[in-house]
Structures are given as structure tokens and as C-alpha cells.
Amino acid sequence: METTSAERPALFTVSGDALSHEQVGERVDDLVRRLPDVADGRCLVHLPLRPDLESVLGYLATLEAGHVALVTPAGDASAAILDRYRPDVAATGDPDDPFQALTSVPQHVLHPDLALLLSTSGSTGSPKLVRLSHQNLRSNATAIATALRITEADRAITSLPLHYTFGLSVLHSHLVAGASVVLHDGSVMEDAFWRALDDLAVTNLAVVPHMVELMESTGVLERPHPSLRLVAQAGGRMHPDHVLRTHALGRRNGWDLAVMYGQTEATARICVLDPATVAANPDAVGRPVARTSVRLDATVPEATDGAGEVVVRGPGVMMGYAEHPDDLALGAMLTELRTGDLGRLGPDGLLRLVGRRSGFVKVMGVRIDVAAVEDALESAGFTTCVGGDADRLTVLVEPQPGRPATRTAADARRLAGRSSGLGRAAVAVAVAELPRLLNGKVDRPGAAALVQASHQQAAAETGAGAGSPLGVHPSPSAAVARVIGDVLGTEAVDLDRTFVQHGGDSLSHVQASIRLEGLVGPLPRGWHHRPLADLVDLADSRQPDSRSAVSRGADSAHLDADRTGSGHWRTVETDVVLRAIAVITICGSHAQLFHVLGGAHILLAVAGFNAARFGLSVPTIGGRWRATARVLLGVAIPTMAVAFFGMVTTGRYGWANIALSQWLIGDPTLGPTRNEFWFIDALVACLLVLTAVLSIPAIGRAWQRDPWRVAVVVGVVALVPRFVIVAWSGGHLQAIMPTTFWLFALGAAAASAASAGTRRRRLLTLALASAGGLTFFPDDPARNLLILAGLAALALLDRVRIPAPVLPLVSLLASASLYIYLVQFLVLSQFENDVVETVAAIATGCLVWRLAAHPMRRLQDLVPPPTR
């Protein structure tokens, strides 16, 4: 028996419970009766709109009753709005007590046509509101449903906030068409979102450009979603290449892409580009929706080359703005909407946007009132200029006397993130004098360029010692803080603390050291244990005078480049280069591209070297164990994951590999591949053993007094099983922890000798290494010499010079060395050509590292970093 329209589902919860259109109507009628009677005066009802049943029903009931809905995000972001427009009633979200009366009688004069108040930018919290009528809502919802061909069979999901005009229009357009909406409070980055989309047969997905980028990064749209028929994009311009890429992805996977354009001031949508025409017009935003027209005003100063300001007429155009409670009594003040966008209209009727007039910026699809953000910053005592692009809000702040630049930047970033509603992660801040035009006004493009240059320089892998564009340089404190924050994934950077105290370890120091050397030149010995403020002082002392950088010209810039190491050569810490070289030799040798063995043994010494520099340098036993735990998480979890994947897919590995103890409990009869992760097994065991040894109070105290002496003694003791076991086995057990612990221990001794800075200790460490290494592989003297060469470089050289163009590759290989080592064996077996095998294994390892680095850092952060 076919269901009627009233019986069709209208709202779904994430648990799968559904209300039909008829049931929604009944629930709404019940809620209307629980609101104040409109005959006693229309009320302003505050609705902190969430994607849940009670919130949505409360919103619909407010409109149905004839009151005015004041829709805001939940939380503190709406404080400025509520302070200015005191509501009469507040929705509680409690099904037993859905509304709370805040006044005894209505306190606002509300125009009869007024139905809805929305923030001008969806989530900025600006007290300037858009006034929308019942006609605005009905006409635009119907126009969108028609343009997107929404039918009763369609189903949307709340992928966007409902307090955002785009997100709210999804609810309106589907309900007016008799379709349904899944109420889900989650991100497109979460698996639960996609389970709900698939399980509840969602057909229509609304997105902004930033969401498309996030979905591309995870590959989630490449997976099958059988019910999905339409992805509707608005909230900002996507590059035509990105549009084509997304359109092609949809074609392959059975869904269409509709590109749209709209504004809160036009209720929601102005234009829609039909999916059938997207491929031919990826730079267009479509034709106006039903009963809406668009013209261009070519008289505005910004109009050039046939472009003009987009001006909209139609029933979706707002009644006007509200900037004061008295404005709520006003009727429609506009017959057309000047959008502030610059566009061109083609002979085919398609609108193409080419720019924007001043006043607002769109960041990640959210339209921001820059004046409101500037007001918030200026109220806090900052002199500032705010701008933005598709990816971030840009804030240039003038220095404050007596206040460190890093603190000024941090405070401004926090306040701008809060006042814009974007959060600190989407705000880029620089501290510098505001550039001004001849008439004394702030040069806004120049200010944005300063922030952009600062952000790019601080984030660059290789840094820049000489002049940046226009001869302007970022604040050294901000640049150092940005490097540490980016590498360690934290915003809480304290320049009075060290890299290690921020959670830095041997897994993250490669990127940090290379990027910091780009700012300050060769890093001082033990930089990771020195307050970051010391590095700021170095950067400050080497930064050119921005006021005269342009006048000095190219010769001076060249001298600066040579002085800072950013010319033809760069200095890099020796262990970084060893990691890069070793992983290439390991991978190439396993692919049989060449025969250069010993790289993994060098890496084990490098691991000991870095353990002594980082985690084991912490003065307390508990701190050392926390540091060790963080490193083990970063090493063990990826290894166990790869081993489990290999076991399940190819049977190459076993449970002993997953337990990181193949050398101890594995079955040697199962073949040599089961011992491919011997280096990881040995590394984990060596780190645990040395940490445990240093936990003996007497040894720990001796380590604190003189770590080199302790490391040498441990190394000498470790040479005993190295000689005994190798001799006993006939030279066949050089890949287990008892025979390789000496490498780890003497690597730690090399770090301690380098820290002490005495040549005698360096040479003694090398002598012990030679004693252990010369006959380590009795039948392979070349392998022994390679291992000794690596140990010699580690013991005698603090850093080496390499060609500057090679630095990014060295940084990448060193950073990804663990992952290259792990995945190489699974990749090598897929190819027959030696060169292809090697390149594919290295590239795959680098890619896996890129994908895993951030999640692994989050996992490591579950263990608090040690304090000193």
C-alpha cells in the first residue's frame, strides 16, 4: 500500500527513528500551544539551533505560531547578539519544558512580516542581523527545491550547522518538497557521519569548499554511497579545476555536483548551476533561481573588464538589516540586494563571480564581517587590520609597547578566533606596523600581504634568511612559535619552555631542526633543551632591517642568504642526514638495486643517539618513562598496524611480529621474512632496557652527573653478549637485541660526548664502536666499514653541509624513514624492476607518513610530555 505525502518520513534521528510529515505537524501544533499566545503579543524567541529533534521542532513551532525566531549557534558565540536583542522566550531543548519565558510581556515591536533573524555571516556572532519574512522563507525554499529537483523521495543530512543560512535552507527546501532530513550532529571527517548517510539512504549532501577538500583528503567520496545522488556546493568559490575534479569524481561514483551561489541577505540561494552544465562551465555559479533576477552594476569603482557588482531582485531579498532592537519594527526596506560581489553575466545567462568588494570575507565557506572582528580587537586595545581568504582570517596587529610580540600575536589570534566564530586554527596573525596609504588610511591589501608572507615563511620547510616580499619580515618570536606549533600540532607554545618540554622527541625533531635552521641558521648545541626564547634571540639578531631591505638591493640580499645558510649550501644535523642515507641504502639493497648493507644498524645507533638527546635526558625517572612511552607509541603502533595488515593480506608476518618480539618468541622455521622487522624489535627492546637501567636510583644519579660515563659503561657491558652470541652462532645472529644493544648504547654515548664537546670523549666512543664493529660481520668487511663510517660521523660531526636544493628531500626521507622501513617489504614484492621497486617503496613510505603523522601525534599526546 503506497504511503501518502503526510505519511512519508520528514525528520530522522541518528538512531533511525523517524517522524512523518503528519507527525511533525502534530508535534509542532503541540509546541505551538506551549508558546505564549500570539494574540497577547508576538515574542522574540531565541533558538540556539542544533541538529536534533527538539531544536528543529521548536524552530518550526515558533514560525508556525507567528512569533519571530532569533536563530543563533549554541554557546558563547551568540553573546553579542543576545546582549543587544533581549529575547522574550528561549528554547531549552528539553522535551518536557521546551520553552522558557524570559519576560512577562513582549518587549519588542515586531513587524507583522518578520519571521526570522539570522546573523549576517552565519556564525560570526555580529549583532548585525538579517531580517527575513515568511515570504522570503517560503519562496526561496520552493525555488531551491525546484532548481535541485528535490522530490518526496529525497533525503538530506545536516552536514552544515542549522544556524548557517545554507544549512537552514537544506531543512526548508526538503520539508517544503515533502522530502526528509536526517538530523546528525557530526563532521564529514567522522566515520559515524558516513554510516548515517549510508544506513539512512541519504540522497542529497550539502557542502562548502573546505568540506570538499577535507573529504578529498580522506578519500571518503571515492567509496561507494549507493543512495547519494547529489552533492550541492555553496558557501564560497571553488577553483574551476577543483569543480571539474569533483564533478568527475561524482560521475565515477554515481552522483551529480550542483554549484550554487547565495547570501544570507537573499534568504539562501541566488543562483544554481545545473549538474548537466557543470563540466562545460566550471567557472560559473549558475542561473538565478525561480522568480529571481540578477543584474550587474558596472558603475562601482571596482568594476573592470565587463564585470560589475551583482545586484539581485526577487522574493528572497531580505527585508533589511537589524542593527538595533528598534529595527525589528521596520518593514521591507529593500527592493534589490547589492551583494558586494563582482561578477560577469554571459550570453548564456550564467553568472560568473570574479571578485568581491570590501566589507566581508569568506573563510572556509563562512562569510565574516571583518568590521565586527576589528571592533572586538580594538575594544581589547589592539590596533589592527583584518582581512582573509578562502583558507584563513588574516590579522595584522601593531606591536604593543612593553609586551612581547609572541604574546600580542597569541592574544589577538585567540580573540579573533572567538569573535569570528572560526576558532584560532583558522586565524593567521602577524605583528608589525600597519602599512598606510598616502591619505593616511590603512593599506588593506598590503596588510594582508604582510600576514601572508609571515605565514608562508614560518611554515616553509627550508625557511628564508634573506628578504621576503616587499622586504618585510615576520616577527621572530611568532615565526619560531609557528614552527614548533606546526611540527608538534599545538597552539600552546611557551617561549620560556624547551622543545622537549613541549613534547618534542626524536620522531619530530627532524622537521623542527630543519625549519628552525631556516630561521636562525645553524642551531646551537643542545638547542632542544634551551628555552625557545634563545632561538628567538638568534633569529632576531640575524633578521635584516625591514626598513632598509629594499634599498640595499640584490647584493645585500645575496650576502644575507650566504650568511644565513640559505644560499647554495645548508648545514643539517648529522643524524638527520644519516637517517635519510640509511633508509635509501636499506630500501635499495632489499630491492637488489645495489648491495650496500648496514643501514639498519646505523639507524639503531642513531636511535640511541636521539634517545640520549631527548627522552632519556629528562632528569626524573617518571619523566624518562613518559618520554619513552611517547616514542614507543610513535614506533610501535605503526609497526603493529603494518604487521597486522601484512599478516591478514599476505600471510607475510605473524603474531610475533605484531608483538614486536620475533627475535624472542618467533618461530625461525617460518622463513626469513618473519624477521624483516628485526630493527624495530631491537629498537623497542633497547629503549626499554636502557630506560629501565637508568631507573635504578644510583645509575640514574650517575647519569644525571655524567651521562657519557654511564653510556660507555653500558656499551662495554653490551659488547659482551655481542661477542659471545656472534661467536657461538657462527656469525648468524647480528639482528637481535642482545647482539645489537651495544650500537644503541654507544649511539647514546656519542650524543653525550657531543653534548660535552670534548674531542677525547668522541674518539674514545669511536674506539669502542670500532672494537664492536670491525668483526661484527665476519664474512662482510664492507658492511662493517659502512657501520663504522656511520658511527664515526655520529661521534665526530655535529652537522654536515649539503646542497640547499637537496634539503627538502633529505628532510622528507629522514622524517619518513620509519614508515619507509615498515612498508618497503610489502611494496617491493609488487614490482619486478629494481628501480621501480625502490622508488615505489620510498614514495609509499613518505605518503603513509604524511597521512599518519598527525594522528600519531595526537595519540602520543595522550601521554603528557615530561617536564624538566
Q: What is the DSSP code (8-state) at residue 438?
A: T
Coil, helix or strand for 851?
helix
Interval 206-218: pLDDT, tens: 998 878 878 887 8
Q: In this predicted structure, what is the pLDDT of residue 45?
A: 98
Beta strand pairing call for 293-297 and 308-313: antiparallel
DSSP assignment of 137-158 equals HHHHHHHHHHHTT--TT-EEE-
Residues composing the chain: 868
Q: In this predicted structure, what is the pLDDT of residue 441?
A: 52
Which regions in the chain score pLDDT beneath 70? 1-3, 76-77, 121-126, 302, 356, 358-360, 364-367, 369, 371, 423, 425, 436-441, 456-478, 489-496, 507, 536-567, 667-674, 731, 756-757, 867-868
Q: What is the DSSP code (8-state) at residue 286?
A: B
Contact 457, 468 (CB under 8 A): yes
Contact 131, 321 (CB under 8 A): yes
> 118: closest CA among 175, 157, 68, 65?
68
Q: How far apart are CA 110 and CA 89, in angstroms?
A: 14
All domains of the chain in start order, with CATH: 9-356 (3.40.50.12780), 360-565 (3.30.300.30), 574-860 (no CATH)
Grid coordinates standing for 549? 631591505
Q: Global pTM?
A: 0.50
Interval 296-328: pLDDT, tens: 999 987 677 788 999 999 999 999 999 999 999
Phi-psi region of 229 (alpha: psi -120 to 50; beta: other; left: phi over 0): alpha
Grid coordinates standing for 657? 611480529
Q: In this predicted structure, what is the pLDDT of residue 88?
A: 97
Q: In this predicted structure, what is the pLDDT of residue 125?
A: 52
Cell match 637481535: residue?
Answer: 736
Q: In this predicted structure, what is the pLDDT of residue 556?
A: 29
Beta strand pairing call for 799-803 and 180-183: unpaired
Q: In this predicted structure, what is the pLDDT of residue 177?
A: 97
Number of Cβ atoms within 10 Å of the Cβ of 774: 13
Q: In this predicted structure, what is the pLDDT of residue 276?
A: 96
Coil, helix or strand for 751?
helix
Q: How far apart are CA 863 and CA 84, in angstroms?
A: 44
Q: How far apart are CA 383 and CA 398, in angstroms?
A: 6
Q: How far apart are CA 233 and CA 287, in angstroms?
A: 15
Cα dihedral 697→702→704→705 (10° resolution): 150
Question: Residue 859, exposed/middle/buried by CB under 10 A (0-12, 13-18, 19+)?
Answer: middle
> 404: closest CA among 325, 327, 322, 476?
476
Amino acid letter, 565? G
Q: How far apart are CA 823 and CA 800, in angstroms?
A: 29
Grid coordinates standing for 678? 628485526
Q: How far apart are CA 807 and CA 184, in angstroms?
A: 46
Q: What is the DSSP code (8-state) at residue 433?
A: P
Contact 260, 163 (CB under 8 A): no
